[in-house]
Each structure stands twice: as C-alpha cells, then as structure tokens.
Amino acid sequence: MIKIGILGAAGYTGGELIRLLLNHPEAEIVFANSASNAGNPVSSVHSGLIGETDLHFCGDLPLEDVDVLFFCFGHGKSREFLKEHDIPSRVKIIDLAQDFRLAAPDHSFVYGLPEMNREAIRGCTRLANPGCFATCIQLGLLPLAKAGLVTHDVNVNAITGSTGAGQNPSQTTHFSWRSDNISIYKVFAHQHIHEIRQSLSQLQGSLDASIDFIPYRGDFARGIFCTSVVRFDGEEGTPGNPDKEMLEQMYRDFYGGAAFTFVSSSPVDLKQVVNTNKALIHIDKFGNKAVISSVIDNLLKGAVGQAVQNMNLMEGLAEDCGLRLKASAF
C-alpha cells in the first residue's frame, strides 16, 4: 500500500482528495494535517465523509512515515513549507498550488499534465499539479499546438464554479451574491495564462500568439466550461486550415492514449464530467475559425483527481486506478 500524507487537508481540495484516497485500492492515508482542526474528526469538516472514515485531523507531521505527500496549500505556501521542513528524499511530493508550475532553474518539479508529460511524470519525485483553468484550456488547445496551428491570438472564455475560489467565504462566493449572478474577473491577467503558454510553447516550439482569456464566475458549485476560438489561414480542408473532420481526427489521434480525455462528436455539458476525472472536448468549425469546447470538474480533473492520476503514474499503477467515477448526469 502507498502511504499518504496530506497537508492543508481541511479545504475543498483536501476533502476531495481524502474521498478519493479512501476508495483507492492501493492507498492508505497515514495523516491529514490541519493545524486549525487538529484533533477533530475529518467528517466534522468534510461532512460528506460521515460514515466513511474515523480519520482525525492531526497537527503533527510524521513525514518519515509516508511515501507520497500531497500539498493542498494556498498559493505561495508550498515554497515556504519546503524551506522550513526537511522532507526525506524518498518521499514523493505532489503540489497542488502554483508555486512550481513554471519551469525554473531553482527547482526540479515536473509539470503534471499527463496528456503531455506522461513519461516525465512516471520518473519524477517532485510534481507540480496544473491549475484548473489551465487544465481545461490546455486540453482544448494542445493538439493544435502540436500541429503548429496556434499562430493567431486565441480568444478564450471559461466559467467556473464557486469551489474554484476555495473554502473561505468572500464577497464573491457567498450565496446572496453568487446565486442568480455572473461576473468576470482578472480579464487577460489570470495567473494560469503563464502555464498555458508554457505548455503550448513546449509542443509548438514557440508561441507568438496571445491567449486572451476572460474568466467568469458561475452561479454553480463545481465544473469549468471553456470555449476557445482559434483562427487559421488558407483554404479550408488544407493542413493550415483543417476542416471539422480533420480536426476531430487530429484530436482523437492526440488523445488516443489518454485515460480520461475524450473527443465528443456531440456538444458537451458540465453534468457529463462533474464528479469525475474526465475531460470532454467538442469541436465546431466555421470557415477559418474553430470553436473548441472543453469541460472538466475543477476539483477533480482540475485538481485532486489529476493529482491522484499523477500519483498512479509516479507509483507505476494503472493510470485510472481509484478514479473510475460516475458523473452527475442522469
């Protein structure tokens, strides 16, 4: 059994991670750390786990007792933790914050998008889990970058559920404001744009086009629905301007070995993916423009589901181990 430690276990991602690992056939949770909840039952915070576990939050850090350590911190805290604590070199780290997602000389974390970096993930001991928006948007664009077709500015609109903002209440997450409401934020300035550009550049070789991303706050709890508009050059049906059939085949070929990312010939919706680790993609074509729709669950494929998928790869398990989940669709 893989022995697991979870840091920052009281938040939304911590609760979802515990839920997945309790049902993972090869995982055993050794500790779930939360300084503010130490001694309390995990189910007192994550009430959906009542009857599922007797696990209690702890305040100590028995790092020597685990094989894999999940960081479910807020952004910026992972770097601080690593500076302040000595983690045994044999312990594998999966960081769900953004601290190490961008490649840099001062760290060796691998960017954990299996659809692009599967082999690098298999051999790594330090992994940076992608952001939720970044995952959804990238999965809609990676095959085009691989083909060298992201040459014009890409217009991206994506709407996310309130859980994407974390568990602490704020003006834009409480019910009275969020219900029956919609708004935009961080227009063209969202932090996930950097990792999106990094991945597209990795596949395409370079990226001169801008990613013009407008994030929306949705009046629902979980899920991300993204549409990306991509423009091509030349006559439709040629390599520089693929028609719909050519694009669908390109995407099916690219994701042919993917465990959770699938191309749908029919329009997609959130209920097909919420509560699962799936990503679904649908392609529409209008002359020299393609509209790529992509949908994920922000807490699963956009966070802890993908983190467990990465753990499976790092530990030599089947990629879908513990992740065959039923969607909320009827």
Hey, which residues are catalytic here? 132
Q: What is the DSSP string of 94-150?
A: EE-SSTT-S--TT--PEE--HHHHHHHHHT-SEEEPPPHHHHHHHHHHHHHHHTT--
For residue 201, CA distances in Å to 46, 141, 146 come to 39, 11, 9
Burial 153-168 (b: 16+ CB within 10 A, else e): ebbbebbbbbbbbeee
Residue 68's closest CA among 113, 12, 129, 115? Answer: 129
Q: Which residue has the tokens 């001694």?
A: 39
CA 186 to chain centre: 19
H or E element at residue 47 = none
AA letter at 74: G
Q: Give the span between the Cα atoms of 168 and 50, in whole angstroms.
A: 21
H or E element at residue 165 = none
Q: Which residue has the tokens 């407008």?
A: 214
Q: Give the span between the Cα atoms of 91 and 315, in whole angstroms.
A: 11
Q: What is the DSSP string of 239-308?
A: TTB--HHHHHHHHHHHTTT-SSEEE-SS---GGGTTTSS-EEEEEEEETTEEEEEEEE-TTIIIIIHHHH
Residue 220's DSSP bridge partners are none
Structure tokens belonging to residue 119? 């082999």
Neighbours of 233 (CB within 10 A): 11
